[in-house]
Amino acid sequence: MVPFGLPAEVLDTLSLYATSSGAVTLLATSGDAHGHYIIQGGSLWVQGDLELGMVGVGTFSHNNGSVTVDGALSIANGESLLGTSRYDMDGGTLSAGWLIVGDLKVSGVMNYGIFDHDDGTVTVANDLIVGHEWDDMPATGWGDGTYNLTGASAQLDVIGSTFVGNQGEGTFSHSQGTHTTEQLILGADATGSGSYTLSGAGGAFIGGSGDRFFIRGDFLSQSDAATAWNTDRADLIFRQGSTGRHTMNVTSEDRGAVGAAWTDNFAWGRVSIEAGETVILADAGAPGGALYTQNLALETGATLDAADLNLRLKAAPVNQGTVDMATGNLVVEYDGASPFEAIAEQLRCGLSDGPTGYWDGPGIHSGDAAADAQRITALGVIDNSDSEFGIGGLAEFAGEPVSLQSVLVAYCWYGDANLDGVVDTNDYDKINTAWLLWTAEGIVPDGGFRWAVGDFNYDGTIDSNDYDRINNAWLLSEGGLLSGAAPAPTPEPATLALLAAASIVLLAPRRKRGDA
């Protein structure tokens, strides 16, 4: 190795050729030594590896010029109890075969590496690893690393994978600048802990078609509308971590599901949750945010807790687990055949197939509806292309634009057939018309029995159970909007009494022709 224990300024070109050990070490070899290397111009070329913080503390200040490391640039790969080092990038270019921030090589030591990237371009030909412990080391969590991407013009281009928490603990803080990577892996195994936070107004995270991002910890995004999140063709995969629970931040405001809004809202090509894992959505900004993903897949025992936020998909969920919508809404835009039946079946399972048989089953359910002591709230569903008069054809849903080819799911009152937020005579018209056609003439409504025509318990027919639900919701909601807005105009008590009586008459056994 070639040790450096004294400060050095490089203003012209300096080429360092690695010895047989294959490494250049920036630090003297005693625990009390400190090494500081400054490059303000020119170029530095290391044909092997460059190590910062082998024993003591190594600092590399890169203000301008170019640094090329053919092998691995390792920050804080110490062999003492204080192997803490940093790389300050304020301009110029850095190219490395591998970049390792926080690299534990010896059992029982604590290493902390920091990479502050405020300006300039960093290109990693293979992998970036933040928080690394070698395979033969016990899982101590002491190989810690932090990467701070903070400058508006800073660029980080990782040709391979970005590991945050590779057995060790890794933190990636991204407030400005652009990060492009083929794979993002938070917590490479069950002992690793990784977090990625995207915040600020000028950051960009980019992943192309076929890129896959594996998450064992949390995935945090606190960005506003000015931040680009170009991952609408990439996969985000949550897999087994130390706790089995993951927090995923979504956009701080819901800006619609059509056109450019998919990119604006940090959309994904596919979000997958592996068996037994729970992902909890969180909104770091104003309420009303949404998870945008073209596809959503849950393995057996997996849970997505929407936590009152919204989901925007482009296909029915492939759901072997549970999606808890709470009080949120779901929009599934589609091309070709409608996924309405598949989504309605998941709602039926969510309502009826759980331990209590009431909105706690697998599929799509609502924990808030399950906890409703009055049992007057539910998840309702309509196809926006439904030909039934007064159903569908919406240009907006929950205040956001939607296309005609959309399946819409909302937390609502029982009996709110058209999902307009209130139970009124329009909803009674739907259930009464469908029930009369069926009982009097044996005609099944066009499109079948479904929520929009009065099948409010998803059992494939209309009967007294459905009337119980709409009547109770009308009586107890007092004509109010579920959103808590001012109550809608409600029929006078006499009118309500007549409608309730009409329901009883409609449900009474009918005399067959020819009976005395």
**225 in a domain, yes or no?**
no
Averaged pLDDT of the chain: 77
Enclosing domain of residue 506: 424-516
Residue % of the chain over a pLDDT of 70: 68
In terms of domains, do 430 and 456 share one?
yes
- Residue 436, Cβ neighbours under 10 Å: how many? 13
CB atoms within 10 A of CB 446: 11
Identify the domain boundary among 391, 413, 435. 413
Can you tell me the distance from the alpha carbon of 165 to that of 162, in angstroms, rounded to the nearest whole number? 10
Based on the fold, state whether residues 436 and 386 are members of the same structural domain: no
Q: Which of 73, 117, 64, 62 is nearest to 95 (CA)?
A: 73
Residue pair 264/289 in contact (Cβ under 8 Å)? The answer is no
**DSSP symbols for 361-417:** SSEEE-HHHHT-TT--EEEEEEETT--STTSS--SEETTEE--SSEEEEEEEETT-T
The answer to whether residue 97 is domain-embedded is no
What pLDDT, in 10s, does the model give residues 370-388? 999 999 999 999 999 998 8
Is 484 within the bounds of a domain? yes
Q: How far apart are CA 149 and CA 34, in angstroms?
A: 25
Q: Which amino acid is at 303?
A: T
- pLDDT tens per residue, range 250-274: 764 444 444 444 444 567 888 999 9
**30-81 tens-digit pLDDT:** 344 456 788 888 888 888 888 776 555 678 889 999 999 999 888 865 554 4
Whether residue 332 is found in the same domain as residue 352: yes
Residues 83/55, Cβ–Cβ less than 8 Å: yes
Q: 351 by DSSP, 3-state: which? A: helix
Residues 371 and 400 in one domain: yes
Of the three residues 382, 413, 444, the one that is the final residue of a domain is: 413
Asked whether residue 203 is domain-assigned, the answer is no
Could you tell me if residue 453 is inside a domain? Answer: yes
Identify whether residues 388 and 440 lie together within a single domain.
no
Query: Do residue 441 and residue 490 come from a single domain?
Result: yes
Residues 395 and 302 in one domain: yes
CA-based radius of gyration for the chain:
30
Q: Which of 37, 183, 153 is nearest to 93 (CA)?
A: 153
Q: Evaluate whether residue 328 is within a structural domain.
A: yes
* Mean predicted confidence (pLDDT) in 380-402: 89
List of residues 6+ apart from 336 with CB closer than 8 A: none
Q: Are residues 396 and 254 in the same domain?
A: yes
Domain-located, residue 96: no
Task: Give the model's pLDDT for residue 201.
Answer: 56
Q: Are residues 382 and 431 in the same domain?
A: no
Q: How far is Cα 309 from Cα 352, in angstroms, rounded to an integer?
A: 23
Do 502 and 391 lie in a common domain? Answer: no
Name which of 148, 149, 195 is nearest 168 in CA terms: 195
Q: Could you identify the residue written with the tokens 């009464």?
A: 432
Domain finish residue from 394, 413, 432: 413
Do 100 and 132 contact (CB within 8 A), yes or no?
Answer: yes
Q: Which tokens is 231 given?
A: 């991952």
Query: Biggest alpha carbon distance in the chain?
Result: 112
Pair 198, 229: CB distance under 8 Å = yes
pTM of the shown model: 0.75
Instruction: Clarify whether residues 258 and 329 are in a common domain.
Output: yes
Query: Partners of 195 in the beta sheet?
Result: 171, 218
Indicate if 264 and 378 belong to the same structural domain.
yes
For the chain, what is the domain count?
A: 2
By DSSP bridging, strand 396-397 and strand 400-401 are antiparallel
What is the DSSP secondary structure assignment for residue 345, as one 8-state letter? H
